[in-house]
Structure formats: C-alpha cells, structure tokens
Amino acid sequence: MAIASVNPATGEVLRTFEALHDAAIDAAIARSERALRVNRARGFRERGIRMQKTAEILEKRQGELGRLITMEMGKPVKAAVAEVAKCASTCRYYAEHAEGYLADEHVKTEAQETFIRYEPMGTILAVMPWNFPFWQVFRFAAPALMAGNVALLKHASNVPQCALAIEEVFRDAGFADHEFQTLLIGSEQVERVIADPRVKAVTLTGSEPAGASVASIAAKHIKKAVLELGGSDPFIVMPSASLDDAVTTAVKARIVNNGQSCIAAKRFIVHESIGDVFEKRFVAAMEALKVGDPMDESTDVGPLATPRIASDIEKQVRDSVAAGAQLLTGGRRDGNYYAPTVLARIPPHAPAAHEETFGPVASLFRVKDVDEAIAVANDTPFGLGASVWTNDRAEADRFIDGIETGQVFINAMVASDPRVPFGGTKHSGFGRELGAYGIREFVNVKTVWVG
C-alpha cells in the first residue's frame, strides 16, 4: 500500500511512502517496550529538559515546518506557523507542570500513611487527523511523554511528511531511544496495533465512524481509549452582546483552518431582534475574505485538504438548498477550493441543520429567547464546544448550565489551551486532553496504604 503526500492547492504528488509491513510494525512495538524502560526511569527533571528542547526546536524550525503543513493539507501558512508555535508553548507548559500534576496525593485515613501515586501506563497508540497535523499530535504527546509513557503515532495518510517531521523533532530533542515513533500504516492495520498486548491504550481524534471503530477494538481487548470526535458547535449571539466583536469573531471562528476544525463555529444562533443586522454584516465579512494560494500570507481561506472533502461540502450545500435553505453567499467550488458560504432559513431536515459541515460553510438560525437558543444549540448529536455572546451575566449563567457540551466560552471563540481540559460529550467523544485531566488519562492511579 502506498501512502501519498499530495499538495491540495495544486494536486501535485509531493512524495510517496510504502506502508509498513507486519514485521516492521512488530519491530517498532518492540522498540517502544525498550524505550518505555528508558523514559519511565527518567525523573521529571530529565524529561522536562528534553521537552524544553523540543519547544526550542519547534520554534527554531517553525517556518519550515509551517510550510510543510501548508503543502500537505492546505491551511494558510500564517496559521500553520502559529500552529507549530502553539505546540512549542504546550511542550513548555508540560515540562513545567507535569511533576505538580502527577505528584503523590496524600489522603488522611486511619493508616500510618495513605497516598495516591500516578504511574505511566506504557505504550500509547495515537491515531491522529490531518486538520491540525502538528497540534493534535503534540497535545497528546507532550503530556504522555512527560508522564513517562512512550508513543506510537498513526497519522492521517495524507500528512506522512508531517508525521515523520514530528518524530524527527522529538528525536533531535533527546527522545532518541524510540520514545516517540511514527508508524506509516493504513487504517486497516490499526486493529493489529491496538490488539498487541504491549500497547496499553489508544487515543483518537477524528470522525464518528473512526472513533466507533477504534473504541470497539479497544473495548474488545480491554484497553483504555480517549476519543475527540466531531462537533457542530453553536455560536450564540444575544442582544446585549457587542455586535462588532461578535461578527468579527464569528467569521474567524467559522473559517479557522479553512473551516476544517471540530471546534469551529458551525451553527450561528442569533436573537431575532438583531437577526437582520447580524446577517448583513456577517455575510459582508464572509464575502470580503481572500480565497487563494495558502502560501500567500494575505490569504484567508486556502483549499480544502482533499477532493473528497470538497465534494462532501459541495453536496451538503446543494442538498440543503434543495431542501429549502436560502443561499446568501458562496456555494461555489473550484477544484479543492470552496467559497465562504452562508446559509439561512434552513429547514430542520436539511443537512446543514444537523450534520457537521467540514469547510467554510455557516448556517444561520434565528431564535426568540434564551430557551429557544439553548434548545437549538442542543439539537445535535455533538457536544464539543459552544461560544455565547452576551453581556448579561444571569443570561450567561443559563447558557453555561443549559448547553450540553464539553466547553462553553462566553464572549470568546472556542479554542484549546494546555491549561484547561479539552473534550466533548455525546457523539463528540469521551475522555479529556490537556490540563491536569489530560496528563492523568494515561497513567495508572495507584492507591498506597501503609498500615
């Protein structure tokens, strides 16, 4: 099986790789077993030195690594460079905080001493997506390695060069005993890796079908899984909000990563009293975006990552319009490029009303009050994030309590941050990444009772 790196802006095949055969996979897992003994034996200070070096290398190479990201998956190069910089900051964060997060916790009991110890779980398989090819990996790998685990990466098949570059960064930073390895394998080989008794757990960021498949395999072999899946995030705007800030952020939240983000705002739920003015300004701002060469730093929206993704978004828009949705702007495809698009008056049965749109397509809804806004926000199988715009604190509290989601941002765009946990509810998955909760996902929580 060949794994191809293809530039989505031009269709050019950049490089091809042969998928690993079974013997090579077995050898990699064996190396990870030996690496585990090495990384587990290190103290937090030693791991931290290597993780700080990882951050330094990322910052030094952020220009070239950003261009590699753009070449393989098409996001604007400014965003790609910023992605690498965010990875560096996360490496530094866990280098500084891992020991505190995993320190022994003493509990008062009748025993002479009782405490909880966090120990590394072992070899963890990460099945990662193409849309943030560095960030998705580092937000798993930095805490996992700092906890004393080792990692195997099965990256998306359209970003093999990014996968190999990440392995090189860790190796050059001093994780040179195979603590982090990239496996260039197809999806059909993932089950074999999860089933191997030397692999202790798996984490996946991706689609619902991929998550369901990986979780069922992990369950069959009684192994832990963490899943971060899709999202159809609501962006709610109430009359008390700053409309200037809301519109500016709404556009940014919809077209981040060319619209290909699980936590991108996708459904814009606006109070009817400000519906007309929000719609007019939002549409104008979407129309003003520059679509073009992702290597041009002035570009706002580049190509979608693959022809399949472009076809899917084209069909969702076409079917939604056929179902009665109003096309306010966009709806045009040119190869892998898709124009920023806004749909309104969307019937409940239209794809844009209930499906995740993975591209620069926004769905507008109008509501009469807070209760209806919460009902529309929750009318989705997903529950990843929500952005709410209101300057009424009591109103904000109702949204915080009422929206079924893993994170709620008030007067801010939903984003991941190493200081706080990230993850979803419902079909958006289970488990958490980042923060103290993220680093504790892949450890053995051991109770010690000294009589």
CB neighbourhood size of 450 (10 A): 9
CA distance 80 to 69: 6
The average pLDDT across 248-252 equals 98
* Residue 230 and residue 382 in contact, taking contact as beta carbons nearer than 8 Å: yes
CA distance 386 to 265: 8
Residue 450's beta-bridge partner residues? 113
Global pTM value: 0.97
Q: Report how far apart, in Å, the C-alpha atoms of 63 and of each of 68, 172, 307, 359 are.
A: 9, 17, 27, 25
Q: For residues 2 and 205, which has the higher predicted lDDT (pLDDT)?
A: 205
Q: Is 233-417 the same fold as 2-229+428-450?
A: no
Q: Write out pLDDT tens, residues 83-96.
A: 999 999 999 999 99
| Number of neighbouring beta carbons within 10 Å of residue 443 | 19
Q: CA angle, 132 as apex, 69 and 312 as ends, to 5°? A: 100
Partnered with residue 119 across adjacent β-strands are: 444
Fold (CATH) for 233-417? Aldehyde Dehydrogenase; Chain A, domain 2 (3.40.309)
Check if the beta carbon of residue 109 is closer than 8 Å to that of residue 82. no
Query: Residue 233: which of 363, 396, 397, 134 has the closest Cα?
Result: 363
Do the Cβ atoms of 192 and 25 come closer than 8 Å?
A: yes
**Measured in Å, how far apart are the chain's first and last C-alpha atoms?**
58
pLDDT score for 64: 98
Contact 268, 277 (CB under 8 A): no
The full set of domain ranges for the chain reads 2-229+428-450, 233-417
The model's pLDDT over 408-419, given as tens digits with 9 standing for 90+, comes to: 999 999 999 999
Q: What are phi and psi of 120, to 5 degrees?
A: -60, 145
Q: How confident is the model at residue 23 (pLDDT cuts 50, 70, 90)?
A: very high
Q: Round the average pLDDT of the chain to a whole number and report it.
A: 97
Q: For residue range 136-153, list pLDDT tens digits in order.
A: 999 999 999 999 999 999
pLDDT of residue 1: 78
Check: CB of residue 29 under 8 Å from CB of residue 193.
yes
- Which tokens belong to 414? 């939903």
pLDDT digits (tens, 9 = 90+) for 331-345: 999 999 999 999 999
pLDDT above 90 (res 354): no
Of residues 420, 418, 421, the one with CA closest to residue 432: 421
Give the residue numbers marked as catalytic.
Answer: 228, 262
Segment 268-297 mean pLDDT: 98
Fold of the domain built from segment(s) 2-229+428-450: Aldehyde Dehydrogenase; Chain A, domain 1 (3.40.605)
pLDDT tens-digit readout, 310-321: 999 999 999 999
Structure tokens at 77: 């190069």
pLDDT at 369: 98
Give me the helix-helix angle, 135-146 and 160-172, nearest 10°.
Answer: 30
**Nearest-angstrom CA–CA distance, 103 and 258:** 41
Helix axes 243-255, 275-287, angle to 10 degrees: 50
| 385 Cβ neighbours under 8 A, 6+ residues apart | 231, 233, 263, 405, 406, 407, 408, 409, 414, 424
User: Quick one: three-class SS letters along the chain?
Assistant: CEEEEECCCCCCEEEEEECCCHHHHHHHHHHHHHHHHHHHHCCHHHHHHHHHHHHHHHHHCHHHHHHHHHHHHCCCHHHHHHHHHHHHHHHHHHHHHHHHHCCCEECCCCCCEEEEEEEECCEEEEECCCCCCCHHHHHHHHHHHHCCCEEEEECCCCCHHHHHHHHHHHHHCCCCCCCEEECCCCHHHHHHHHHCCCEEEEEEECCHHHHHHHHHHHHHCCCEEEEECCCCEEEEECCCCCHHHHHHHHHHHHHHHHHCCCCCEEEEEEEHHHHHHHHHHHHHHHHCCCECCCCCCCCCECCCCCHHHHHHHHHHHHHHHHCCCEEEECCCEECCEECCEEEECCCCCCHHHHCCCCCCEEEEEEECCHHHHHHHHHCCCEECEEEEECCCHHHHHHHHHHCCCCEEEECCCCCCCCCCCECCEECCEECCECHHHHHCCCEEEEEEEEC
Q: What's the token pair of residue 97? A: 């905080």
Query: In angstroms, rounded to a whole number, what is the distance separating the alpha carbons of residues 355 and 391?
Result: 30
